[in-house]
Amino acid sequence: MQTKSFKFKPIHLLALLIPIIILLASYNAIYHTTTLTPSQELITSYVNSPSQEEAQTLLDQEPLTITANELSHLDDVAKLMRLLNIILIASIIIVTIKIYKLHKNKDYKTIKQLIIIGSSITLILLLLFIIATQIDFTQSFQVFHKLLFPQGNYQFPESSYLITNLSAEFFQNLAIKIGITAAILSTITILTTILLPRKV
């Protein structure tokens, strides 16, 4: 009995959107459920909705005050967050529409392939991230910032407002939670897809 080999189709490129959905959804879930200190809440409030009023609230903090350069970085973070949310929503819409069309055409095999491939890519990316951070988290953190903020306004002294309130340890714990959430979602998605009957 011959086993049918996997044949690549252009539609399989859609699987690349699934890691985006899983990772960004995991990020949003952790970001909105993590317990923050009052100072961290002020920072995230500004990132979520930058305004002169929010900026002034940060500038009025004592004894440690935020600098103009730090505010500029938060503005860049706010822009990035808005862009990522747009990408997440667009990815969900595109994948949903494509899967609906495949389901309508009774192409259940391709649907399963898309989901399994996309979720597997997510797990591979998480594994690579774990390896990179275990080798050198600080260096990985720097590379991450250089990619997302090429303008370079993300380096501050240890005594700065942002570093004091958002330490490397804070981001490390956040990354671990996001990674665990994404890994669980990916694994559940793969197992559920495999165990589902052929016609879904």
* Mean pLDDT (the chain, rounded): 86
* Average pLDDT score over residue span 55-73: 77
Q: How far apart are the C-alpha atoms of 38 and 40, rounded to whole Å?
A: 5
- Which of these ranges, 6-10, 116-120, 188-192, has the smallest mean pLDDT? 6-10
The total number of residues written for the chain in this structure: 200
Contact assessment for residue 107 and residue 99, using Cβ atoms and an 8 Å cutoff: no
Question: What integer pLDDT is reported at residue 118 of this predicted model?
Answer: 95
* Average pLDDT score over residue span 108-112: 89
Q: Is the pLDDT of residue 14 over 50?
A: yes
Amino acid (1-letter code) at residue 182:
A
Question: What integer pLDDT is reported at residue 63 of this predicted model?
Answer: 66
Please count the CA atoms within 13 angstroms of the CA of 80 that sit on its side-chain side. Answer: 13
- Percentage of the chain beyond pLDDT 90 is 40
Amino acid (1-letter code) at residue 42:
L
- Which of these ranges, 3-12, 85-94, 127-136, 170-179, has the smallest mean pLDDT? 3-12
Nearest CA to 36 out of 48, 24, 22, 26 is that of 48
Question: What integer pLDDT is reported at residue 62 of this predicted model?
Answer: 62
Measured from the Cβ of residue 35, the count of other Cβ atoms closer than 10 Å reads 6
- Placement of tokens 């009995």 in the chain: 1
- Of residues 65 and 193, the one with the higher pLDDT is 193
Q: Is the pLDDT of residue 75 over 80?
A: yes
* Average pLDDT score over residue span 169-185: 92
**Over the stretch 113-139, which tens digit does the pLDDT of each residue have?**
999 999 999 999 999 988 888 887 777
Q: How far apart are the C-alpha atoms of 157 and 164, rounded to whole Å?
A: 9
Measured from the Cβ of residue 43, the count of other Cβ atoms closer than 10 Å reads 21
* Average pLDDT score over residue span 76-105: 94
**Over the stretch 23-62, which tens digit does the pLDDT of each residue have?**
999 999 998 899 999 888 888 888 888 777 777 777 676 6
